[in-house]
Amino acid sequence: MTGSGPRDVTYRRWRLRPGVPAEAVRDLLRARIAPHYRTLDPAVELDLEQLQDAAAVLAIARWPDRTSYDRATQGPAYQAWLEAYRPILDEWDRLVEFETEWFTRGLL
């Protein structure tokens, strides 16, 4: 087993709103969320997984390290990025409802 070294990872579990297919969430992530995140930090990797036998998805953000995360999510540049991101978050919230989140650090 090999890894790319320690990475900081954020997992967020989201429940699909009634009638919303996971593909709609995937399409929004591909079309709007991922491109916007690349403007925050091109090194962050986003992923989306559907939970088996559940109307829920995991949104996963992998950061190279905590320093990269902290640098990208603090200060006036982040506030401007977040303001530009708000309309996308509104779209996201129409598709899913937040359930829980957790953070990990890769060991391999």
What's the CATH number where 12 sits? Answer: 3.30.70
Pairwise CA distance, residues 40 & 34, whole Å: 10
* Residue 4: per-residue pLDDT: 59
E-strand stretches of 6-107: 8-16, 45-50, 56-63, 96-105
Number of domains in the chain: 1
* Residue 66: per-residue pLDDT: 86
Task: Give a yes or no: residue 30 inside a domain.
Answer: yes
Task: Give a yes or no: residue 103 inside a domain.
Answer: no
Range of the domain at 64: 8-95
pTM of the predicted model over 0.75: yes
Task: Give a yes or no: residue 101 inside a domain.
Answer: no
Pairwise CA distance, residues 77 & 82, whole Å: 9
* Residue 81: per-residue pLDDT: 96
* Residue 108: per-residue pLDDT: 73
Q: Report strand pairing: 8-16 vs 96-105.
A: antiparallel
Task: Give a yes or no: residue 64 inside a domain.
Answer: yes
* Residue 1: per-residue pLDDT: 44
Assess contact for 21 and 40: CB atoms under 8 A.
no
- Mean pLDDT by 10-residue block, N- to C-terminus, for the chain (108 residues)? 68 97 97 97 95 94 90 93 97 98 88
